[in-house]
Chains A and B, each alone.
Chain A
Amino acid sequence: MSNQVKNYYVGSWVDISDYITEIGEVPASLRNDDYTLKIENQKISVASTIRDVRTSDYEFADEDKFSFLVDDECIYQGLVETSEYDYAGMFFDVNLYHALTSLKSVIIDYATLHTALAASDNWWEYTSKDNDFFGHSVVSLLWTLKCVFTAAGFTLDVSAVEDTEIFTDVDWDWSGGTLTGHRDPVAITYKDLFFIEQMLYCTGNAVAANYATIDSVPYGLSADKVNGFDFVSEVLSSVGLLLKQTGIDTFALIFETAAYSITDDAKFEYAKRKVRAEAAALENISCTSYGFKDDPAYTSNPSYIDYYQLPYGANPTSLNAATIGSGKDSIPFMTNLQIFYSDAKNNVSHFESIYMRGYLQPELSADLAYTYGTGKQRLNLIAKKVRAKINSYLREEILTDYQSEKKTVIEHNVDFEWSNSRIVQESYDE
């Protein structure tokens, strides 16, 4: 096992492992138990002899980039938050924040994302309003995530999940341009989840309005815009996907894996505890979501209308609120986060909101796909939050040899000095 610490200096990544005098355990995991993103800081000490390689400027500047690699695989990437020079000890105490913090600089709004979103040539990623029957610009959820990552300087690979079936839905049969009834259930994949672009820019906002209205009042409606980190975090939790670092500046969406199975002999330290559920039962919880609860294609204005009228008008309107459950333990849900699904791939070679089959919403269930009608399923947007809330679980902390296989455990900290993995994993009583 070969461990390396690299520093981005004068246009290239330089191996500075020889100059690291102290390094704690490096956090390689990226999630909380409800699938929201978790990122951690990392501290290292670097000998002053770093001037051997940083010849023109050996002090670390704000946001200088570091990467931590095991066998050439990047497990952590950070940016300098503070760098203090210890004159007596002749080393730099460098505090890094996780590179994904850069997502917080990306604002989910028209100015930041529209050009990138509209640049796709793939019909399933972006369909302009000009090609849509109802005049909506439609953008896939996965493409939106990719663009948010790109805006932060990263690459996101969605290939491992895009064609995976999430649930099945009963399809309408439009054969010959006429609605002739239902067809066999069709599989909805992650590729089929989408936003209506105008509604995307309202995410986090307490009202429905088109982007021009939101942007026209600085520190007013625009103050409620969400940043890319919170957006990605909420979306991943909502649709049941996890993030994995695959290289320097590159990430991928993956599914939850099984936990590690470590033999007793290889457990250098071991502790376990049983954690009781926060809420005893589904009856104890509730969730309120705010958004456009009806099919925008049919209720906003079914005819060709001005761009600024769709799907949200120039005048801000209040949102519909929907509360499920009556328990006092409330599960938070991002305001105005509205995800739709379609089966356009089964019908056409382009993505129109006319093929929209429905919208996703929270459900009081720990199942990601739940049945809500005869032969119909939907993705439950709070499944992972409910799971974390109502289930007791076993929490194990294990120190063992370095585990090169990346499993989606709660914590995987890598000891660079002794090449060990400190793992914290949870198994739910499901």
Chain B
Amino acid sequence: MSDILGTGEPKLIGTGSPDSTTRILYYSILDPQFSEKVFKIFESPVSASGKRTYKTRGRYATFSVDVLLCRYVDNSLAIGSLPTAKQMASTLLSYEDKDVVFYPFKDGATYGDGFGKPIKNAANVNVNCRLIDVNFSFLENISGDYDVITLIFKTNEFYDLSKLLQA
């Protein structure tokens, strides 16, 4: 959890294709990289002081989420209506190369109200993320089921990090 950005697991909401359903990524590990900055330095060849001007157009973000499917089997947190590992894997695969609304933190039980928000741009409009990659991997240092599905989300446009902060 994050005290300033939100609480709870990441979640995504489909944007119509394949559906518009809310999917909470239980038992997952979020690795956010908020600062893919697009900027350029302009340096004056004439200025006596060697003046530099920095221009930042904005920043994109990449979110890597490891969903530990192996934990869907034992469901140690006793989450109700939890899909099976296979169902979850199948569902997440259906979003590959689709745009989704991505919440780094779903904001607990009453997600959507207060903090824990989707990525937003400077105009405070949701920025869709593209699920650009879905990969399977296996944790070999634990016993029993060890499936992991890794999701890579990228923002489709520049976003404003301040819009994610807790109100």
Tell me if chain B binds chain A.
yes
Please report A residues at the B interface, Cβ cutoff 8 Å: 18, 264-270, 399, 401, 417-420
Known: A270-B45, A270-B46, A418-B40. A265 touches B55 (CB 8 A): no
Indicate if the CB atoms of B55 and A266 lie closer than 8 Å: no
Closest-CB distance, B102 to chain A (whole angstroms): 19
Tell me the minimal C-beta distance from B118 to chain A in angstroms. Answer: 18
Report Cα–Cα, A265/B157, bound state, in Å. 31
Q: Could you tell me the dominant secondary structure of chain B's interface residues? A: loop
A268 x B48 contact (CB < 8 A): no
**B57 contact from A265, A269, A399, A418, Cβ within 8 A:** A418
Residues in A with CB closer than 8 Å to B55 are 418-419
The verdict on B76 contacting chain A, using a C-beta distance below 8 Å, is no
Query: A267–B45 contact, CB under 8 A?
Result: yes
Shortest C-beta distance, B161 to chain A (Å), equals 20
Contacts of A420 in B (CB 8 A): 42
Q: Which 5 A-B pairs have CB atoms at the shortest separation, nearest pair first?
A: A268-B42, A265-B51, A264-B46, A265-B47, A264-B47
A268 and B53 contacting across the interface, CB-CB below 8 Å: yes
Q: In the bound complex, how far is the Cα of B55 from the Cα of A88, in angstroms?
A: 32
Are the CB atoms of B44 and A268 closer together than 8 Å? yes
Determine the residue in chain B with the shortest Cβ distance to A399: B42
* CB < 8 Å neighbour of A269 from B40, B45, B48: B45
Q: Nearest chain-A residue to B41 (Cβ)?
A: A268
Chain B residues within 8 Å of A270, by CB: 44-46
Is B49 interfacial (CB-CB < 8 Å)? yes
Minimum C-beta distance from B63 to chain A (A): 21
Alpha-carbon distance A399/B42, docked complex (angstroms): 10
Q: Which chain B residue has the least Cβ–Cβ distance from A269?
A: B45
Question: Distance (Å) between the CB of B61 and the closest chain A CB?
Answer: 18
Q: Is B43 an interface residue (CB 8 A)?
A: yes
Complex contact A264–B40 (CB within 8 A)? no
Nearest-Cβ distance from residue B17 to partner chain A, whole angstroms = 13
Nearest-neighbour CB distance to chain B for A423, whole angstroms, equals 14
Q: What distance in Å separates the Cβ of A243 from its nearest Cβ neighbour in chain B?
A: 31
A38 to B42, CA, bound (A): 30
Q: Are A264 and B48 in contact (CB under 8 A)?
A: yes
Q: Which residues of A contact B57 (CB under 8 A)?
A: 417-418
Contact indicator A267/B40 (Cβ below 8 Å): no
Residues of A within 8 A of B157 (CB): 18
